[in-house]
Amino acid sequence: MFYLGLENQIHLFIIIVFSSYIYLSSFSIRQPSAFIKHFGTAFFIPLVLCLMSFLSLNREHASSYLFFAEFILISALLLILLVQKNGDFTYVIFFLLYALPVCIGILNLNFDSIGRSAVFTPVIGAYAGISAILVVSSMISKKKEHLPMYWGFLSICASLLLIRLSPGQTATTIALVMKATGYILFSWFFYRSTVYQLQQQHSKNTSMLERLSDNVQREVNRRVEEIERSNKKLVEISKTDGLTGAYTKKAILDMMDMSISKQSDTVFSILMFDIDNFKKINDTHGHITGDKCIKNLMNICRNSFRGDDVIGRFGGDEFVILLPGTSPVKAYLVAERFRKNVEQTKDPHYTVSIGVASYPLDGKNAKGLISSADKALYISKEKGRNMVSHTGQIEE
């Protein structure tokens, strides 16, 4: 190396740095395309020839190795472009790429001035022309993925021609800049074709996985919500009476206990009622008519009470209405209005007797309230039916 001039030392440094990067990086890329694998392998040629130039003790040989490092590189890359779509040449290309540096080394040892032969000038000119055509055609066709590589060809060819046609100091400096530019373009092309594409593919796959994960999570959430709704519906169904849709006896008692345990200072009332002479209706008109009366009574309940009021069927024709936040007086008035609505029924006509009880006045728990309301209902029956009675009337 110390037998070379400063410009050749810089030249040697440029080739070794960029060739090492491209050649060694080609081994770290998993499953590259055949073209990229060949492209990376081609930089074994300048790498080996530059190392031979570095180790050479003959200035003429060292300079010749530097020339052939780039001339054979361009030749090899153009050959790779020519056969890039033909897989049959893969092993031939690999053999040539690794064998060419050895061949040049042998030739160079036997012919000291082979690199200065005039025959290479028109060949390099032809390479430059081919490179220019590739650049123009790539720009016209808007297929720009290989454009950095074509510009790299042109830069290296132009630098070789410039030194051969005008071997002055200024030309040498310009040629070094063009060589550096060429190798930078080769490195950029290699990066865009390998690492950058892998990064883009990784980002795309990551984004796709995130979208897939979001979709799966949304679907899981949707299914969970559906299951929860179904479970709630099943629970509600298990709590309701099949004929009327009202809550069962157990469900209405649980709701009363829950209201008391959650808000011990709350005030609410219950109405207990049944259809007067219901057995007579069944015996006279049949059980179908009796069921019709019960269903009709439920419709009147839904139209007579608030949305927050809870309707429960205690069994047969006996029902309980839970009136949250309702005082005894207001409960009595509500019950009286409901009784009048039922009194207007026809086909068949029937009436109801109602007992009213309130928490905490008439009972401290659900069982006590039901007992008080049942006693009040009994009073309504005793007084002639179609009446509303409150627990307080028992003592009157």
pLDDT over 90 (residue 35): no
Please, which pLDDT band fits residue 231 given cuts at 50, 70 and 90?
A: confident
> For residue 93, what pLDDT band results from cuts at 50, 70 and 90?
low
Count CB neighbours of 82 within 10 A. Answer: 10
Long-range residue pairs from 223-230, CB within 8 A, at least 24 positions apart, any chain:
none
Confidence class of residue 173 from pLDDT cuts 50, 70 and 90?
A: confident
Instruction: Indicate if the pLDDT at residue 6 is higher than 80.
Output: no
Domain segments of the chain: what residues? 6-193, 240-395
Q: Which helix (H) or strand (E) holds 315?
A: strand 310-315
Mean pLDDT across the stretch 154-159?
92
CA dihedral (125, 160, 184, 70) in degrees, to 10, reads: 90
CATH H-level, domain 240-395: superfamily = Reverse transcriptase/Diguanylate cyclase domain (3.30.70.270)
Report the C-alpha gap between 128 and 124 in whole angstroms: 6
Instruction: Give pLDDT tens digits for 54-90.
Output: 777 677 777 777 888 888 888 888 888 877 665 555 6
Contact 176, 7 (CB under 8 A): yes
Q: Considering the chain, what percentage of its residues have pLDDT values greater than 90?
A: 28
With a cut of 50, say whether residue 396 has pLDDT above it: no
Q: Is the pTM of this model over 0.75?
A: no
Place of tokens 């060429």: 182
Is the pLDDT reported for residue 263 higher than 80? no
DSSP lists the bridge partners of residue 357 as 270
**164 band by pLDDT with thresholds 50, 70 and 90:** confident
Q: Does residue 2 register a pLDDT over 50?
A: no
Residue 328 Cα distances to 23, 200, 314, angstroms: 94, 74, 21
CA distance to 18, 49, 86, 171, 348, per residue, from 181 (Å): 11, 20, 30, 15, 104
Residue-wise pLDDT tens digits, 302-321: 899 998 899 999 888 899 99
